[in-house]
A = this chain, B = another copy of it.
């Protein structure tokens, strides 16, 4: 069993590349490959072999020179290291367009995220169930949180509500916020915020398209 460094802060670029390696390794495993070298990974996914070796060095799994990594072991270690094997309880705040969309994404549970409830104020969604996930009024959050103790809050409320709702849910016990709003929320130091603005990615893509015309 490989020992995994707990509580270490790995550089974000490394953490973002590790899932690429994982995806590639799963494909290699499906093709029946037993061992793989960082050079082979490099050729397939356009990251330099030394960079891959350096990224994987955080895992404390060793690739043997000339022999490479054991594919199945590397998959297991990566999945555990990335936190995809542990299930974390989450609530989703703001069942609008993007919020409802995320409730439809069953893929999230394969990456360790279990959304147990949605919260909103809109009477058209409160009381409904989306893909098996019940949607409650936000006023019921403290009581439900006291029972379920979810650690992650997915924030998909309108921009103008982002700060207020962030404060409320932290008050109730949420310890990490996955913020899909384009608003930069302010939180206490012990709270984790992960910003994911998919619309900002659109802006980057549009700009690159214009530049290539």
A residues 163-186 near B (Cβ < 8 Å) are 175-176, 178, 181-184, 186
Interface size on A, as a range, is: 35 or more
Known contacts A9-B211, A46-B184: A203-B159 contact under CB 8 Å: no
Copies of this chain present in the complex amount to 2
Per-residue interface assignment for chain A, residues 174 to 213, with 1 indicating a CB less than 8 Å from any chain B CB and 0 otherwise? 0110100111101000101010111111111111111111
**Would you call A45 an interface residue if the criterion is a C-beta within 8 Å of the partner chain's C-beta atoms?**
yes
- Verify B45–A183 contact, CB threshold 8 A: yes
| A19–B198 CA distance with the chains assembled, in angstroms | 10
**Given A97-B104, A200-B16, A211-B8, A205 and B178 contact (CB-CB distance below 8 Å):** yes
| Known contacts A10-B207, A184-B47; is-contact A98 B88 (Cβ 8 Å) | no
- A205 near B182: Cβ-Cβ < 8 Å: no
The CA-CA distance from A27 to B108 in the complex, in Å, is 31
Is A208 a contact of B192 with CB atoms below 8 Å? yes
Q: Is A32's CB within 8 Å of the partner chain B?
A: no
Q: Is the CB of B27 within 8 A of A209?
A: no
In this complex, the member of A15, A175, A190, A202 whose beta carbon has the largest number of chain B beta carbons within 10 angstroms is A202
Q: Which residues of B contact A27 (CB under 8 A)?
A: 159-160, 183
A178 shortest CB reach to chain B, Å? 6
CA–CA, A23 and B200, complex, Å: 11
> Chain B contacts of A15 at CB under 8 A?
200, 203-204, 207
- Residues of B near A44 (CB, < 8 A) are 184
- Known interface pairs A9-B208, A112-B202; A19-B197 also in contact (CB < 8 Å): yes
A83 at the interface (CB under 8 A from B): yes
Interface residues in A71-120 by Cβ distance below 8 A to B read 82-84, 86, 88, 96-98, 100-102, 104-108, 111-113
